[in-house]
Structure 1
């Protein structure tokens, strides 16, 4: 009787393990952080092209992806309402994806430094979120298992 119960328990555990594995595979989530630290429209467009390519790749595989484009230093110009050469593309990307699937993170350290040196308030695009530090944000995303790309 004990041998039978052990076999039954083993079969039950193996069944649960296989079920959990296949559920995890179906719901696999990919996460990528893309750094922009240059005031160069080519770099900004490359970052957006990378995001678009990742979105399309995983969409074709019916898999989910979260993207965070983090701008700091001179790259913050990408997310400034007055200087962004790519604001139409940013708006389009935000509109085409489900809420929360793509984020644009603007470094507050850089924003404050620019405000001080320029002598006026700087406004960030409404599609972006201000984070305390772009570098720290990237580091924390990597610590949480996010992949990292610098175009």
Structure 2
């Protein structure tokens, strides 16, 4: 009887554990996940952030890494059409790099200037840039701040 119970227990662990593993594998379909913070208007630092993303993608492979660049505060300019790196951001959107702009920052700019900044096509908006970084880190993303 004890042997039968042991076999049933092992079988249940295999069946349900395998199912959990499969669900986990679907949720994490890439080997690496990286979030890059941009919170400065320093052009050199912004270029480094973009270079980091490109170099990581080249090194690990496009299909092996998910990269999200999150901008807030003075760093939001990176993701606007008026930014010096706007064309590069647009190109990187097409290379499966995700860009997320902080809505708190957008609201402050809108209130101060009377108009919302125009974002590069393909840039997404998140409620809070800082909170987005926290959420991504909790999901296992490696954190980089150039």
Quickly name the TM-score band, shorter chain normalised. Answer: 0.7 to 0.9
Aligned length: 143
Unaligned runs of 5+ in 2: 16-21
Q: Distance in 2 between matches of 1:135 and 1:146?
A: 14
Relative to the length of structure 2, the TM-score reads 0.78
TM-score for the superposition, normalised by structure 1: 0.75
Alpha-carbon distance between aligned partners in 2 of 1:28 and 1:44, rounded to the nearest angstrom: 25
User: For 1:91, what is the secondary structure of its paired residue?
Assistant: helix
In structure 1, what is the Cα distance between the partners aligned to 2:50 and 2:126? 19
Match of 2:100 among 105, 110, 113: 105
Structure 1: segments with no counterpart, 5+ residues = 17-22
Q: Distance in 1 between matches of 2:34 and 2:135?
A: 12
Secondary structure of the structure 2 residue equivalent to 1:136: helix
Aligned to 1:58: 60
Q: Post-superposition shift, 1:89?
A: 1.0
1:60-75 paired onto structure 2 within 5 Å: 63=64, 65-75=65-75
Structure 2 residue 59 is matched with structure 1 residue 80: no
1:42 aligns with one of 41, 44, 48:
44
Runs (4+) of structure 1 exceeding 3 A deviation are none
Task: Tell me how large the CA RMSD over aligned residues is.
Answer: 3.0
How many angstroms does 1:28 deviate by? 4.8
- Does the residue aligned with 2:61 lie in a helix, a strand or coil? helix
CA deviation vs aligned residue, 1:22-53 (integer Å, no higher than 9, x gap): x999x652100000000111111100000011
